[in-house]
Amino acid sequence: MSVRRVMGIESEFGISNPKDSSANPMLLSSQVVNAYGNEVMPNRIRRMRWDYDVESPLRDARGFDMSRADADPSQLTDDDYGLANLVLPNGARYYVDHAHPEYASPEVTNPYDAALWDTAGDRIIERSARLASTLTGELITVYKNNTDGKGVSYGTHENYQVLREVPFNDLVKYLTPFFVTRCVFAGAGRVGLGQDIIEPGFQISQRADFFEAEVGLETTLRRPIINTRDEPHADPDQFRRLHVIIGDANMSQKINYLKMGTTAIVLSMIEAGYLKVDFELYDAVTSMHLVSHDYKFETKQRLRDGSEMSALEIQKHYQESAVRFLAETGETDPMSHDVVQQWGRILNSLENDPMSLVNEVDWITKLSVLNGYRNRDQLLWNDSRLAAIDIQFADLRPDKGLARVLQQKGKMDLLFTEEQVAQAVSHPPEDTRAYFRGTCVAKFIDQVAAASWDSVILDLGPDVPLKRISTPDALGGTARATAELFATSSAAADLLANLKQEHVLS
Amino acid sequence: MSEREFAKGNSDREQSAEFTPLPTASSSDLDVTDLLDAIDLVLEENAEEFVKGFVQKGGQ
């Protein structure tokens, strides 16, 4: 039982025309996504569509459907409003969602690849904005953050494939304390307290203040700590897809890796029935806000049984359980040991000398820069320059984004070389169905009518009905399974003729 | 990276008593003055306008 499982990260990016704050964000987002589509897929003869056949955003993991009439319009994601909606050669989905460009990484099988293909998304968005700026003659900038500091938030969502047989209540019980406290190392840092900054100050998380419920289906309003959306994009009898919406967008590649890895190992422990101690919080939503506001680690959280624990104590419990879990299950996977060991090291440093993590942890890097300015220029927390630094930290341009500048100066650790990232921009992971999807797009771009996580739809000509290839198995369609198929299929019609079940089912 | 590389003394932690937050990192990690000078060159010139203009529509 390891950190390895099917996973992915989807991010909505902040977008702006700095010269014109009234610019329509849906239009800007469309321009950005289309500019990229036109560059990487110039032979596209038609507008590729997303195949919504199996999307069900109102399906609830607790076992009931919300009626469409009861849903807020922002919850209806399965309508194509004619906005840009692409499937990229690297297997990612790239589209306009709720007035933001969104990059949903291809499915990967481990946290290292999750962070790599997420970083590839950063480069894709940055490249897109540059192309769109040239095309429109207006500067368009993009930000990997989660709030505008004026009451609005947009998400960075993680997805994990989880065994269906695990009772959903176990996920709620054991994930909630973990999620409420995970920001101590995974937070991106934020200037200001409250959704629309009612109080000056600094907090650990971009997202925490926007959470108002413990469990629920929504992602745009009354955001819940545990999201119950249940679209497995896999065999629904075997799997659910846990949709995690509490996280911040990370510029730190290492923290992105550890965020995904620690969550994956906690899920493995829950699946194995290994976690027994229930740290039920008295008020998880309030605790989530308090933990984020407590960057000096001075408070304790109240538990339902009347006792109190600090965020670091709760995290340490999970980390120590993971150490024992790996030992007792005889796990030999080096990545799993690395995740759990680094998690422990970081928790120790947070306890003893948080600033020693300045090269690694987003919120500490950001705080260090902010405190540098505060000390040098005697700034108070409500100074616009500090708010500007907060926003610019997440600017994705290499010469303007503070995190990117720090990374180039060696002040923020990197996990990947730019060559690795460039490879992930144009190539899919080889060990999931993203390989099949991405390779179809790369090889047969003018014949891919639509695609989705679960399908690729081919258009073989005006007199032939569209052909839908189902890809229900995330571990099917790998490079190994399809090498010969693609080698022997020079056109989409050959692919269809040569396609066998074993190509897409593992 | 080893545990030891991250085990740092606390001697630099007292420098900013006036502000009482966590201090900036020790100079061995980050040459703060040089770094701030470098960041000065990158920062938007009119911070107030820039912050005011950064308005997003709601998302997920």
Could you report the predicted ipTM of this complex, rounded to two decimals?
0.89
What is the rounded average pLDDT of the residues B18-35? Answer: 54
In this complex, do B36 and A369 lie within 8 Å of one another by their Cβ atoms? yes
Question: What is the rounded distance in angstroms from the CA atom of residue A247 to the CA atom of residue A75?
Answer: 19
Residue B31 pLDDT grade (very low, low, confident, very high; cuts 50, 70, 90): low
Find, in chain B, the residue whose alpha carbon is nearest to that of A405: B39
Q: Which residues of A449-476 are buried (b: 16+ CB within 10 A; e: fewer)?
A: bbbbbbbbbbbbeeeeeebbbebbbbbb
Please answer whether residues A25 and A97 qualify as being in contact, where contact means their C-beta atoms are separated by less than 8 angstroms.
Answer: no
Nearest CA to A122 among A468, A504, A421?
A421
Q: What's chain A's length in residues?
A: 506
Amino acid residing at A145: N
pLDDT of residue A1: 81
Question: What is the rounded distance in angstroms from the CA atom of residue A266 to the CA atom of residue A323?
Answer: 11
The alpha carbon dihedral of A203, A209, A215, A218 has a sign of negative
Collect all residues of chain A within an 8 Å Cβ-Cβ radius of residue B24. 355, 358, 368-369, 371-372, 375
Residue B14 pLDDT grade (very low, low, confident, very high; cuts 50, 70, 90): very low
Beta bridge partners of A213: A224
Question: What is the rounded distance in angstroms from the CA atom of residue B37 to the CA atom of residue A369?
Answer: 11
CA-CA-CA-CA torsion for A289, A294, A295, A296, nearest 10 degrees?
-170
Residue B1 pLDDT grade (very low, low, confident, very high; cuts 50, 70, 90): very low
pLDDT of residue A319: 98
How many CB atoms neighbour CB A157 within 10 A? 20
Collect all residues of chain B within an 8 Å Cβ-Cβ radius of residue A152. 55-59
> How is residue A395 annotated by DSSP?
B
Residue B58 pLDDT grade (very low, low, confident, very high; cuts 50, 70, 90): confident
Question: What is the rounded distance in angstroms from the CA atom of residue A37 to the CA atom of residue A26?
Answer: 16
Q: What is the CA radius of gyration of chain B?
A: 17
User: Angle at CA A422, nearest 5°, toward A418 and A426?
Assistant: 170
Collect all residues of chain A within an 8 Å Cβ-Cβ radius of residue B10. 353
Higher pLDDT, B13 or A80: A80
Please answer whether residues A54 and A115 qualify as being in contact, where contact means their C-beta atoms are separated by less than 8 angstroms.
Answer: no
Question: What is the rounded distance in angstroms from the CA atom of residue A471 to the CA atom of residue A50?
Answer: 14
Residue A54 pLDDT grade (very low, low, confident, very high; cuts 50, 70, 90): low
In this complex, do A148 and B30 lie within 8 Å of one another by their Cβ atoms? no
Question: What is the rounded distance in angstroms from the CA atom of residue A470 to the CA atom of residue A109?
Answer: 20
Residue B30 clears pLDDT 60, i.e. is over it = no
In this complex, do A148 and B39 lie within 8 Å of one another by their Cβ atoms? no
Task: Take residue A344 and report the two structure tokens written for it.
Answer: 């422990």
Nearest CA to A375 among B31, B41, B36?
B36
What is the rounded average pLDDT of the residues A79-89? Answer: 73
pLDDT of residue B42: 87
Question: What is the rounded distance in angstroms from the CA atom of residue A208 to the CA atom of residue A246?
Answer: 7
DSSP collapsed to 3 states, A441-498: HHHCHHHEEEEECCEEEECCCCCCCCEEEECCCCCCCCHHHHHHHHHCCCCHHHHHHH
Nearest CA to A371 among A312, A310, A295, A297?
A295
Please list, in sequence order, all residues whose beta carbon lies within 8 angstroms of the beta carbon of residue A502, skipping any fewer than 6 positions away. A481
pLDDT of residue A173: 97
Please list, in sequence order, all residues whose beta carbon lies within 8 angstroms of the beta carbon of residue A140, skipping any fewer than 6 positions away. A15, A16, A17, A28, A31, A32, A129, A132, A133
Task: Take residue A246 and report the two structure tokens written for it.
Answer: 């509490």
Task: Take residue B3 and report the two structure tokens written for it.
Answer: 């545990």
Residue A373 clears pLDDT 90, i.e. is over it = yes
Nearest CA to A303 among A286, A321, A322?
A286
Residue B12 clears pLDDT 80, i.e. is over it = no
Helix H or strand E segment including A481: helix A479-487
* Secondary structure of residue A112 in the 3-state scheme: helix
Residue A124 clears pLDDT 50, i.e. is over it = yes
Please list, in sequence order, all residues whose beta carbon lies within 8 angstroms of the beta carbon of residue A301, skipping any fewer than 6 positions away. A180, A181, A281, A282, A287, A290, A291, A308, A309, A310, A311, A314
Q: Choose the weakest-confidence range: A63-77, A157-171, A402-416.
A: A63-77
* Cβ of residue B3 closer than 8 Å to a chain A Cβ: yes
What is the rounded average pLDDT of the residues A13-17? Answer: 97
Q: How many contacts does A have with B, using Cβ atoms within 8 A? A: 167
In this complex, do A358 and B13 lie within 8 Å of one another by their Cβ atoms? no
Q: One of A72, A78, A80, A97 is an active-site residue; which one?
A: A97
A97 is catalytic: yes
pLDDT of residue A17: 95
Task: Take residue A181 and report the two structure tokens written for it.
Answer: 């406290």
Nearest CA to A147 among A12, A307, A339, A7?
A12
DSSP collapsed to 3 states, A42-77: CCCCCCCEECCCCCCCCEECCCCECCHHHCCHHHCC
Mean confidence (pLDDT) of chain A: 93
Residue A14 pLDDT grade (very low, low, confident, very high; cuts 50, 70, 90): very high
| Predicted TM-score of the model (pTM) | 0.91
CA B47 to chain centre: 16
Please answer whether residues A156 and A146 qualify as being in contact, where contact means their C-beta atoms are separated by less than 8 angstroms.
Answer: yes
pLDDT of residue A59: 56
Q: What is the pLDDT of residues A27-44, one digit of tens each?
A: 999 999 999 999 998 866
What is the rounded average pLDDT of the residues B29-58? Answer: 84
Residue A161 clears pLDDT 80, i.e. is over it = yes
**Alpha-carbon separation of residue A61 from A46, A55, A189, A324, B58 (angstroms):** 36, 14, 31, 30, 24
* Cβ of residue B54 closer than 8 Å to a chain A Cβ: yes
Report the DSSP pairing between strands A85-87 and A93-97.
antiparallel
Residue A21 pLDDT grade (very low, low, confident, very high; cuts 50, 70, 90): confident
pLDDT of residue B36: 86
* Secondary structure of residue A14 in the 3-state scheme: strand
In this complex, do B22 and A295 lie within 8 Å of one another by their Cβ atoms? yes
